[in-house]
Each structure stands twice: as structure tokens, then as C-alpha cells.
């Protein structure tokens, strides 16, 4: 009777191990160490492939979530340069014990700069896009600064206790924030906005920061 030989993972492994074992395999002697090494390499390759596939999936998912989040709030994630963030804090003329907010805080760099310059501040940041918020949480943890960094739509959060608010947003959201501030902010609360002014509320001061060959305009408001 003719024997039908099929292909299976075991037979494939035997064919892989046979040349490595040589004469010992041909005489029926065990070649355990070589077989285990081959199986280990095979399993390690599969594990690495699955890990690479998983990381690729997470990266693609992160890009999609970030894009969708940016579309929902109409504010793309464009971080303010570090030097400009520090100048925004200095432009606010803080005493060092205020309650400050960053609305649309991105990766948290403005609040990190504020806490480094004034350690006694009570700082809170709001970010809507989950992937950007997670990046901010990691940056804040790495900085060692005590900052409340929260996930959510900053336009729906109360800022009635704010002494100062930092903004680096987009022209489309400035009118709605202006109406929100008219309803919620206490007299004397200051707002520092980078790049985009409010449509109606007059600033009490403005300046320009030149950084890496670009001009960044800052507006200081008082309610």
C-alpha cells in the first residue's frame, strides 16, 4: 500500500531540525537541544510578528482618533513652541499663587512652563482628543509637576474660579469662548491668547514673540 504523506507543523519542524542534528538524528538518537532552539526561534518569530501587527494597529487607531477629535472641535493639534509658552506665562504677570487653566491644553507644555516658573500655581488643563490628552499626561508625569490634566470638552467646563486662562486654539472657537467668559469669569480674571484674538473683547496689552524665525502674537485680556 502506498503511504500518503501530508505536510503538518510537526513534519515541517522535523525537516527543519534534521539537517541540524546530522548523523545522530539518522540513527534515532535524540537531538533535544537543537529541536528546542528551532521551536523557540519559530515561536519567537510569531510573537514578534503579532507584536508588530498590534503596534501598527494601535498607531493607526491613534491617528484616526486624533483626526476625528480634531474634526469635532475644529481645532487641530499644533503645539505652541516652548519658548512662546514661557513668554505667554510671563506676559500674564502672575504672582505665583493663582488658579490657572489651559483650555485645549494639547500636550500640557504651557502649564508645565507655568509651574516651572511659579511652583505655587493651581494648574488645570482640559484636552478633548484622547491621544493628545494621553501624550500630555505622559509629559506632565515626566516633568514632575503637579497639574490636573483632564479629558473633556473645555467649552463645557466651568472656569468660574479661574484667575488666569491660557489659550492657543483656533479662530472658529474664539467667539463661543468669549460668550462663555462673559457669563462665567469674575472681574479681574486675565486671559492670554496666542495667535488668535477675541472678536469683540478689547485686549489690555499685546506683544509679539519671535521664535525660530516666526512671529507669534500674544493678546492679554482682563474681564
Query: SS3 string of 39-83?
Result: HHHHHHHHHHHHHHHHHHHHHHHHHHHHHHHHHHHCCCCCCCCHH
- Give pLDDT, residue 4: 47
Domain end, chosen from 43, 72, 101, is at 72
Same structural domain, 96 and 27: no
Looking at the structure of the chain, the number of domains it has is 2
Same structural domain, 215 and 127: yes
Counted residue by residue, the chain has a size of: 223
Residue 3 inside a domain? The answer is no
- Give pLDDT, residue 211: 85
Residue 41 inside a domain? The answer is yes
Domain end, chosen from 25, 46, 72, is at 72
Q: What are phi and psi of 166, to 5 degrees?
A: -105, 140
- Give pLDDT, residue 79: 86
- Give pLDDT, residue 120: 97
Please give the residue range of the domain that contains residue 191. Answer: 82-222
Residue 145 inside a domain? The answer is yes
- Give pLDDT, residue 151: 95
Same structural domain, 116 and 199: yes
Residue 77 inside a domain? The answer is no
Q: What are phi and psi of 201, to 5 degrees?
A: -70, 125
Residues of the chain short of pLDDT 50, as ranges, are: 1-4, 10, 13-14, 16-17, 20, 23-26, 55, 57-59, 61-74
CA distance 123 to 101: 6
Residue 42 inside a domain? The answer is yes
- Give pLDDT, residue 42: 57
SS3 content of the chain, % helix, strand, coil (to 5): 50, 20, 35
Amino acid at each position: 500500500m502506498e503511504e500518503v504523506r501530508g505536510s503538518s507543523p510537526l513534519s515541517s519542524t522535523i525537516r527543519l531540525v534534521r539537517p541540524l542534528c546530522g548523523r545522530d538524528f539518522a540513527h534515532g538518537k535524540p537531538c533535544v537541544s537543537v529541536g528546542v532552539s528551532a521551536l523557540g526561534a519559530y515561536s519567537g518569530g510569531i510573537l514578534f510578528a503579532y507584536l508588530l501587527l498590534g503596534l501598527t494597529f494601535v498607531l493607526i487607531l491613534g491617528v484616526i482618533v486624533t483626526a476625528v477629535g480634531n474634526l469635532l472641535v475644529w481645532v487641530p493639534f499644533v503645539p505652541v513652541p516652548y519658548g512662546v509658552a514661557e513668554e505667554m506665562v510671563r506676559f500674564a504677570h502672575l504672582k505665583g499663587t493663582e488658579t490657572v487653566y489651559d483650555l485645549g491644553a494639547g500636550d500640557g507644555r504651557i502649564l508645565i512652563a507655568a509651574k516651572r516658573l511659579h511652583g505655587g500655581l493651581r494648574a488645570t488643563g482640559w484636552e478633548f482628543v484622547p491621544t493628545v490628552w494621553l501624550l500630555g499626561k505622559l509629559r506632565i508625569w515626566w516633568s514632575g509637576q503637579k497639574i490636573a490634566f483632564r479629558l473633556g470638552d473645555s467649552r463645557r467646563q466651568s472656569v468660574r474660579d479661574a484667575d488666569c486662562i491660557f489659550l492657543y486654539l483656533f479662530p472658529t472657537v474664539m467667539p463661543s469662548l468669549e460668550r462663555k467668559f462673559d457669563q462665567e469669569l469674575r472681574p479681574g480674571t486675565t486671559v492670554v491668547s496666542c495667535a488668535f484674538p477675541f472678536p469683540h473683547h478689547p485686549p489690555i496689552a499685546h506683544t509679539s514673540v519671535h521664535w525660530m524665525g516666526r512671529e507669534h502674537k500674544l493678546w492679554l485680556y482682563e474681564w
